[in-house]
Structure 1
Amino acid sequence: MSYEWPIDPQDLFHERYPQMTTGLLPADVDAVRASIKRMWVEEPGGWVYEWSHLAKRYVGERRHDLATIAYGWAKFPTLANDASRRALQHQLEQYGLWSREFPVDHERRVLHLPMGDTTTPVAVNIFSPKGAAPDTPVLLASGGVDSWKMDLPQIFLAFAQHASLRVIAFDIPGTGESMIPMSPAGSQIVTGLVAEAKALGAHKVGHLGISMGGYFSARSGLAGEVDAAIVLGGPVEAAFDPKREASFGMSDIVGNALGFSQRPQREDVTLMFSAFTLRPLLQLQTNAPMLIINGADDIHIPQHDTLVFEGRKDTQVELLANTGHCAVTRFEEVMPKMIAWMAQRLR
């Protein structure tokens, strides 16, 4: 289920340009930006069309890494139509070719994990250090509502290489290859992944959540379900306040993830989203060691959702100045910090 909504594509460039130019040359991003006129049309000047045109150029150059990134932007920010779904399939193909070049062992699996009274298929990408022992600690890792597991392999590679962890990357419910809508009950996916990690032989399991993925790592960390948790730009309480106004189409991105098949009333989204609050878990002191990081200038996540963790046992909180959502413009500083912290907790 999905739907399109009115949005100016230039607003997305305005917000995401620093993220886009992290993996692609600014000149290439600028050229795509200049060519895109409308969001949802399947023709020259359309979002998917122009990003896919760039991706095809990279395919011709056998730059499967860049093609994966460009197709990732083609299907961004959600699978609202057939064109974006095709872009995801192209991204998957290019990712498969790129993964052969990874400096670690890589495997794709489809797990069937418990969900309510049944099971749901969960596609995972597994990054393992060369020669990793069966009891190598596992890091569960995911992105958010619009940046998914195939968009972030450099992050997962870094944890596998530099922290010597086996990384199991997955899409949170309602996104990517997930087959179920996003809901608080979707945290059962994490429970199933922890069990899978233990079945592989891991004695310790950590959880890295980025953006909305940070909601799920905050939940598993607060509940003590994992041995350590990192929350990077995750919403936990204030972000779910029905009175908050969403920016840059986020309300509709979330609406798609929640499973709406046509554009809902804003009140319908905020009512469902308010049920995500982690206030009950915040009132407990059962948490595993946790690292909470975000940028002080985040337009999506209130500072409260980072600072609310201050003073908790075994919890390190960092609200970084002069950067926004997920501290993306200070990522060169944040990555080594997260890797060292998680390695110390799990090894």
Structure 2
Amino acid sequence: MAFQWQVDPQDLFVERYPQMVGTGLPKTDVDTVRAAITDMWLDGPGGWVREWSTLAEGYVAGGQHRLAALAYGWAKFPTLADESKRAALSDQVDQYLLAAPDFGLDFTRLTIEAPYRGMRVDVPVHLLTPPGWSAADPVLLVSGGVDSWKIDLHSLFADLALRTGMRVLAFDIPGTGETPVPMSADGGYGVVRAIIDRARTLGDGRVAHLGVSMGGWFAARSGLAAEVDAAIVLGGPIERAFDPDRAWVFGMRGIIGNAMGFDADPTDAELAQRMSQFSLRQWLDRDWNAPMLVLNGADDVHIPATDTLVFEGRRDTEVHLLPDTGHCAITKLPEATRIMIDWLDAARW
């Protein structure tokens, strides 16, 4: 189930340009694609998928598989709303696997079977193991959000593996990427719980859970329920982000609607009803949680600051709201990464 919706592609460049160049694509190449794109859904010259895929094909021809994977990642961005975007995801996976020998750490692609509403689904995940890691060390479970997925954030996840010495298990949250079920607060979290259980078998049994953006909701849920041994929430929505009167910017309404499994642009009432199920208030009201680190940018246009600050004063919880940066502190990601690494090193978990 998927749908297209009205979105100006240039608006997406306004928000995502720092991420596009910050994850490794040359600025001149991004500028060229930006100038060429005129329509989000056009299946032809000027269309989002066509122009990003053309860039990727150039990288493929030059044997630059990592750059090709990044470009195909932007081709399928922000959601798999049509066949051309699904094809771009398939191409991204192929190029990422070709790039794997040069990652500088051991890479394994495996499948985890998870329950979902009476069914069993297969979830492809990636295991990044740094040099010197042993089975006596913990595992760091990581995911992105509704539009930036495990391959898109490889540079962050590989950096965390190499700098912490932890084995990293990367997955796509439900409703995105290669996880084949809609995003939901009940069944969707059940899929993540199965991935947590598998992660416990891949190291010494301890699991820390980092979630970025909407992935931060799942990390907050697992941390508040103490279903992991430590949790990091980077830019995650918690409760106020799910208010029915919230404002939508940069195409996020359609992105969320697709992730939730709607097959047409939902009404305000339909979207509000589905989103209300995600509030973590019942878990916040409990005086119990695993050690947690919660951080975000103070100028986030998607997640209200209160969804970060609500964690202040909780037991075993550290909170950072970084000034002069936005969603997930993307323009200050090196600082946010240092905070996460320092916390993982010092946390009693």
Q: TM-score band, normalised by the shorter chain?
A: over 0.9
CA distance in 1, matches of 2:33, 2:218: 34
Aligned to 1:289: 291
Aligned to 1:187: 189
Aligned to 2:94: 93
| SS of residue matched to 1:151 | coil
Identity of aligned residues (%): 53
Is residue 13 of structure 2 the alignment partner of residue 13 of structure 1? Answer: yes
CA distance in 2, matches of 1:157, 1:272: 34
CA distance in 2, matches of 1:267, 1:26: 41
Pairing 1:290-329 to 2, within 5 Å after superposition: 290-329=292-331
Give the Å deviation of 1:250. Answer: 0.4
CA distance in 2, matches of 1:327, 1:204: 27
Aligned to 2:333: 331
Q: In 2, are the aligned partners of 1:164 and 1:343 still within 8 Å (CA)?
A: no
Aligned to 2:106: 105
Q: In 1, are the aligned partners of 2:143 and 2:170 still within 8 Å (CA)?
A: yes
Is residue 95 of structure 2 the alignment partner of residue 79 of structure 1? Answer: no
Pairing 1:132-281 to 2, within 5 Å after superposition: 132-185=133-186, 186-281=188-283
Q: In 1, are the aligned partners of 2:132 and 2:165 still within 8 Å (CA)?
A: no
Q: In 2, are the aligned partners of 1:135 and 1:200 still within 8 Å (CA)?
A: no
| SS of residue matched to 1:229 | strand
Deviations 1:85-126 (CA, angstroms, capped at 9, x unpaired): 110011001000111111111100011112343321111000
| SS of residue matched to 1:167 | strand
Q: In 2, are the aligned partners of 1:145 and 1:212 still within 8 Å (CA)?
A: yes
Aligned to 1:27: 28
Task: Read off the aligned partner of 2:248 and give its amino acid letter.
Answer: A
| SS of residue matched to 1:259 | coil
Q: In 1, are the aligned partners of 2:141 and 2:208 still within 8 Å (CA)?
A: yes
Aligned to 2:119: 118
CA distance in 1, matches of 2:259, 2:39: 22
Task: Read off the aligned partner of 2:307 and give its amino acid letter.
Answer: D
User: How many residues in Structure 1 have an aligned counterpart in Structure 2?
Assistant: 347
Q: In 1, are the aligned partners of 2:130 and 2:161 still within 8 Å (CA)?
A: yes
Give the Å deviation of 1:342. Answer: 1.7
Give the Å deviation of 1:346. Answer: 7.2
Computed over aligned residues only, the root mean square deviation of the Cα atoms, in angstroms, reads 1.2
CA distance in 1, matches of 2:119, 2:41: 35
The partner residue of 2:342 within 333, 340, 343 is 340
Q: In 1, are the aligned partners of 2:131 and 2:165 still within 8 Å (CA)?
A: no
Task: Read off the aligned partner of 2:246 and give its amino acid letter.
Answer: R
CA distance in 2, matches of 1:201, 1:234: 26
CA distance in 1, matches of 2:176, 2:147: 7
Aligned to 1:56: 57
Give the Å deviation of 1:60. Answer: 1.3
Off by >6 Å, runs of 4+ in structure 1: none
Give the Å deviation of 1:2. Answer: 0.5
Give the Å deviation of 1:131. Answer: 4.8
| SS of residue matched to 2:201 | helix
Q: In 2, are the aligned partners of 1:128 and 1:160 still within 8 Å (CA)?
A: yes
Q: In 1, are the aligned partners of 2:139 and 2:202 still within 8 Å (CA)?
A: no
| SS of residue matched to 1:39 | coil
Task: Read off the aligned partner of 2:222 and give its amino acid letter.
Answer: S
CA distance in 1, matches of 2:45, 2:204: 49
Task: Read off the aligned partner of 2:15 and give its amino acid letter.
Answer: E
| SS of residue matched to 2:288 | coil
Unaligned runs of 5+ in 2: none
| SS of residue matched to 1:100 | helix
Give the Å deviation of 1:156. Answer: 1.2
Give the Å deviation of 1:200. Answer: 2.5
| SS of residue matched to 2:126 | strand
| SS of residue matched to 1:54 | helix
Task: Read off the aligned partner of 1:344 and give its amino acid letter.
Answer: A
Deviations 1:110-156 (CA, angstroms, capped at 9, x unpaired): 11112343321111000012353223201110000000001011111
Give the Å deviation of 1:208. Answer: 0.2
CA distance in 2, matches of 1:260, 1:114: 21
Q: In 1, are the aligned partners of 2:143 and 2:212 still within 8 Å (CA)?
A: yes
Unaligned runs of 5+ in 1: none
| SS of residue matched to 2:191 | helix
